[in-house]
Structure formats: C-alpha cells, structure tokens
Chain A
Amino acid sequence: MSTPAGPTNAELAALRRPAAGNPTWRAVRNYQAINIVVLVTLFLGFCTGYSLLYPDQLRFASLGNLSVLSQQVPVTAIVAIGVGLLMIGGEFDIAVAGTFTLVPFVVAITSAGSWGWPIGVSLLAGLAVALLIGLMNGMITTRLGIPSFIATLGTMFFMRGVIRFVSLNPTTKQPDNIAFFPGDALKALLGGQIIGPIYAQMLWLIGVALIGYALLNRHRFGNHLLLTGGNRDAAVAVGVPVRNVKVTAFMLCAVTAGFAGILQGVRINQVEPSFATISGLELKAIAAVVVGGTSLFGGRGAILGIILGAVLIETVDNILVLISAPETIFKGFLGATTILAVILNTVIGRRARR
C-alpha cells in the first residue's frame, strides 16, 4: 500500500461532517458533550452543596472522601478513555480486565525477586506486553474479519489462563498474589499526594486525557478513527488505512488499560490474579464510555464526556456508600444510571438535532 499523502484533514472533516460550515450542526456537536457536562455538574453540585450544608449527614465534600475519589476515578477513567477511543473506531474490547491484570503482573514479576530488572526496563516490558495484547486483539479482529466483541471475548478467556500461569507461585504451584513495591520514587510519581485531595493519579488522568484529546481532535489519526467508526465505506473510499487505524486503536486501548492497572498496583502495593475478574471492569468501562455520550456504534464521542461518564459512575457508587444504601442495590443502581444517562443523552441529542 503506497498512500504517501492520503486524504487531507479538510477532506476528512468534510466527509465526517457534511455540513461543517453550518453553525447549527456545530452547536449540536457541542451540545452532545454538554449533556453529560450538565448532568455531572448538577449531580456534583447537588452532592457538594448538600454535604456542605449538612456535613453530618453526607460527608461527600470532605478531604478524605475526595482523596478516595481522586485516586479511584482516574483509574476507571483512563481505562474508559482507551475503551472509548476504540469504540469511536467502531470496535469493542471485552478483554480490558485481563490487560489491566496481566501488565502490572509482568512489571511486578520482572522487577522483583530472581528477575530483578531495573524498574524502567520492567515498565518497558509491561508496555511491550500491552502493545502485544492490543496487536493480537486488533489482528484477530481486522485480519480474520470477526466481530471484536467475539474476538476479545475469546482473548479474555485466553488471558485468564495466561494470568493463572504467570501467577503460579514456584513453591506452592498455585496462583498467588505478588507484592509490588517499585520504590518510593515511582510510588510518588504514580500515586503520591500532590496537595489536599489531589493525587498524582489525577495528573496522569489529565495527561492521558490531553493525549487522547490531541489524538482524537487535533491529529489526523482522530479524523481517521472517527471516519472509520462512523462510515467505514467512506473511509475506505478516501484511502484511510482502516485496518491499521483499528489495530492502532486496539493497541491504544490495551496500553491505557495496562497503565491503569499499573497505577492500581502501585497504589495498593500488590497485584492479584483476579484483579478485575469479578468486579467486571470491562462492562464498567463500556458503561462509563456510553454514559459519556459515545456512540456504541462508533464515529462519535468526546474525551471529556468519557471522563465525566467515569466520574458519574464512581461518584454515584461513592454516594451510595455514604448514605448506607443496602448492599444489594449497588449494582442495580449502576445499571439504572447507565440506562438513564444514555436515555438522557439520546433524547436530548435528538431534540437538539430536530
């Protein structure tokens, strides 16, 4: 394939937005992101206001609680950004929980004990594993032409076996947790307290978000991705290397999931083989992404929306804990929030388009 020039950004933008010059259309596009912004602002505003007025009833806005959120939300949000970028390109990754576990496992194993690699090298090894997983998912999906939902369902089960294998404790011959103490410097870098309730994870989220934004909205890759997900035939017609774009998105998704896994491992000093198996990280990430206004079918989505989707899901959960909601209701609430937010997105979006 020799496509030295390819389509220009302007051409791609014109294809993607048939009425690029039309101010109404631009307003609607902006409005898309604003749905979730309004929703999250209202929700957070209410919670904060209430907790400031009645600090004894709801301790949402306390330093300790915000610290918890500032360490947890970025992890979910970073996974969601990867899953979201991929979904914008029209594909799913059901295997993120596996990547989220395997990558920190590789880093923890190679940096300790008999391996004893320098942490930098271990991190590179982790990156390589993530890229490999993304490549595998991408190649299976694009080259073999099978739906990514099924391809990554397969690799999810496959990786579970791999994780069991790498987590075997050499003496007991059983899978085991592995301690992860990568040194104070890295710990401070990846999970240190910056000031008040702001932890390093927040800064990393901002970094990943900026990269994601730049890729999606300021780089040709983003245009290719949006077009690939939105209108594959048109993308092929104008010479977008659709397969490569998708494989790249798969790799980005794996790298973000692996990075989030490392953040989590560094924070709790340990990696466990079941890291995200039962909690269902893949479905949580998809929920955050679609709550954030991303189209499940590709071609539409914004980084800010995805992050706010993660914020909403984690905050709702946090509020349920703070108000002592019955244990059985939590997951049901996650389900209801997802459905309601998507309904809201869709209905408001449709109204605005009319």
Chain B
Amino acid sequence: MALNTQIAFGLRSLAVATTALAAVAFAQPAAAEDAPVKVTFIQHCCSGATFFQPMQFGAELAAKTFNVKLTYVNADGDAARHANLIETAIADKQDAVIPTITVPDALNAAVKKARDAGLVVIAENIDHPDGGKGNAREAFVGQDFITSGKMIGDRMIKTHNLTEKDFCLLPVEFPELTYAVRRAAGVQLALKTKNIGSEMIGTGTVDAEALSTISQAILANPKITCIIGLGTTPTTVAPDAAAEAGRPGIPNGGFDTNPKIMKNIMEGKTTATMDQQPFWQGYLPVMFAAFEVRYGLHPADFDTGNNLIDKANGQKALQYGGTFR
C-alpha cells in the first residue's frame, strides 16, 4: 500500500513537472500581456538563514517569468503572525497566498478563510500532518520530513553498516521546532529497524558554539559512532566537530545543503545530506498560483524532498549553490 501511494505520488509529480515544463515553454508570452497576478509568499521563519535562499530565488524567478507581483514576507517562526499574514493577504486582495503549515491547527481557520475569499492557497515547505484532509490548502509543495528522515537514516545504516552496537547523536538547533521533531521521528524510524540508540542535543544557531557542543557530546559519550544533523547548522559543523573531538572518522550526514556542506561531501568528510530542493518550494507554488488564477489549472501536491545528495551526484549542487541549489 505504501508503495502504491508512493508510485501514485511519483506519477502525479511527474505529471505536474511536465505541465510545468510545457507551461514554461509555451505560455510565457501570453502571460506577460495579462495584468500581474498578486501573490503573497510566506517564509515561515528565520530571516537571513541561508536555507531559504534558493526558495526565495525560485519564488522571485517564477514571479519574473510568469508576470507575478510577489510579496515575500517572513512569519518569524510565530504561528499567530503567520495567520495574521494570511489574513492581511486576504484584506490586501491578493490573488493567492503561499503559507507554510508549521503548526497544524493554528492556520486552519486562516487558510479556510482565504479559500472562502476566493484566494488560491498552496502550502510550501511544511504540510499539515493529515495533508489535504487536515487543511483547506489546495496543494503542497515540499518535503515529507518523516520520509526524508527515514531515508538519511537508512543511508547511514547502509553505507556504514551500523548495528545495534552503534549509537547516533542527533544534534539540532532548536529541538522543539516542528522540523526537528518530525525529522528526528523519521531518523529514529530507520534506526529502530537495527535497534540503534540515539540522543538529541540542542546546539543553537551559533556555528562555532554548535561545533563545540557537538565535540563535547562526542567526547562525553564514546558510544557515539554516528552523527545525523537534523538541521543546517549541525550538519555544517559535524565533521569539524568530530575532528576536534579527536575522532575525525565518525560517519556523519544530515539535512540541507549549503556551500560548506557540499564541500564536505565532495571531500568525503560527510556521507550524504537530504536535500529538500528549496528552489522548487519557491518556484512551483508561485507558478501553480499564477496558472490557476489565469487559466484555472488546478495544482497538485509535489514532493520536492527525496533527493539524497552524496559524492556521486553532488557536483551540480556545489556548482549552483546559492541560486538554484
């Protein structure tokens, strides 16, 4: 059954991608003649965080391509502010709003209100746990945190032959945030199949401090034989932390890409990273919204996130880091 769902999902994604490509190829000149479509795009947190750079780049590229007037705002990790921004978009007579369903029940009312007011609503980055059944959004473009967590867990187990004697450190910036909780659940799902123990540790966002915290944790617990960073900061510093703790060989992997993570992967210091391809999470929702508003084309869910990057396929990610990757 799970396989069926996955295949269905894959087919649907493929169909969407084809539509998108066709749209890019043919629809562009017509679009430019219409009045611009007004879209509010809500990044759910962390102004200045490099993770969101390709997302914003993608959203702006799509806006330019499809004649969209884009309002790109940040909810500062605050669900109430997120709801406010959706309602402001309604009041501002936007044609579409693109939120992140960070906190399941918090945005239901606002999203419903937006739909009732005739706005196109496409979620990006984080979805309601029950998907379209739990929330009135029309489609979701993003990564399934639990699936991707399981994928990186499985990959670490496979590459490094981890067994029940091993123990994984799961460092993350803020252990209580949604992405951390769900990714940890996914990773632990994989680890459980081999009875591998794990432990979370909070690192904060200061790179140098995160580095030290992880090294100290490794020193304190010789049982640790593997590190899976659940966010950008710990994934970035994990190999350096292992080296400073005097155990440079500890297998490590994690989530997200940035120039440093990609460099580590290409140099073989990091095994792999889960790339959720934030570019698509910015580009596709804006494009979907533009096409639904103009031509009534209905959007569909699109999984951007099961792209495991390792040395074999990392060259492009390194090359286009900062724009498309």
B-contacting residues of A (Cβ < 8 Å)? 59, 62-65, 67-68, 71-72, 75, 163-164, 167, 172, 174-177, 179, 264, 267-270, 272-280, 318, 321-322, 324, 326-328, 330-331
Contact = CB atoms under 8 A, between A and B. Distances in A.
B174 A328 contact: no
B181 A172 contact: yes
B108 A269 contact: yes
B88 A324 contact: no
A163 B176 CA distance: 9
B103 A330 contact: no
B93 interface: yes
Interface in B179-198: 181, 184-185
Interface in B119-140: none
Interface stretch (B3-11, B65-73, B303-311): B65-73
Contacts of B105: 177, 179, 268-270
A161 to B, nearest CB: 9
Given A270-B103, A321-B88, 11 more contacts: A67-B91, A172-B181, A179-B104, A268-B106, A269-B105, A269-B109, A274-B77, A276-B78, A277-B77, A278-B76, A321-B92
B81 interface: yes
Interface string B43-78: 101111000000010000000000001111110111
B152 to A, nearest CB: 17
B242 interface: no
Given A172-B181, A264-B80, A272 B106 contact: yes
B84 A274 contact: no
- Interface residues of B, dominant DSSP: mixed
B284 interface: no
B178 interface: yes
B73 A321 contact: yes
Given A172-B185, A321-B85, A270 B106 contact: yes
B90 interface: yes
A61 to B, nearest CB: 10
B136 to A, nearest CB: 14
A282 to B, nearest CB: 13
B91 A331 contact: no
Interface residues of B, number: 44
A267 B110 CA distance: 10
Contacts of A328: 47-48
A326 B91 contact: no
Interface of B: 40, 43, 45-48, 56, 69-74, 76-81, 83-85, 87-88, 90-93, 102-109, 174-178, 181, 184-185
Given A72-B84, A172-B181, A322-B88, A279 B77 contact: yes
Contact of A331 (B47, B69, B84): B47
Nearest to B89: A321
B74 A327 contact: yes
B155 to A, nearest CB: 22
Contact of A68 (B45, B87, B178, B184): B87
A75 B103 CA distance: 19
Given A167-B176, A175-B175, A318 B88 contact: yes
A275 B84 contact: no
Given A279-B78, A327-B43, A327-B72, A59 B92 contact: yes
A262 to B, nearest CB: 12
Which 10 interchain pairs have the tightest Cβ spacing?
Answer: A64-B91, A278-B77, A273-B176, A65-B91, A175-B176, A268-B106, A279-B76, A324-B71, A279-B78, A270-B106
Contacts of A172: 181, 185
A331 B83 CA distance: 19
B289 to A, nearest CB: 15
A324 B69 contact: yes
Contacts of B109: 268-269
B66 to A, nearest CB: 16
Contacts of B77: 274, 277-279
A330 B84 CA distance: 15
Nearest to A63: B91
A305 to B, nearest CB: 24
A268 B91 contact: no
B181 A176 contact: yes
Contacts of B88: 64-65, 68, 318, 321-322
Nearest to B109: A269
A71 B48 contact: no
A330 B75 CA distance: 11
Nearest to A267: B80
Contact of A269 (B40, B47, B106): B106
Nearest to A280: B76
Contact of B103 (A65, A164, A177): A177
B91 A68 contact: yes
Contacts of B87: 64, 67-68
B213 to A, nearest CB: 14
Contact of A65 (B43, B83, B92): B92
5 contacts: A62-B91, A268-B105, A270-B104, A277-B77, A280-B76
A231 B179 CA distance: 49
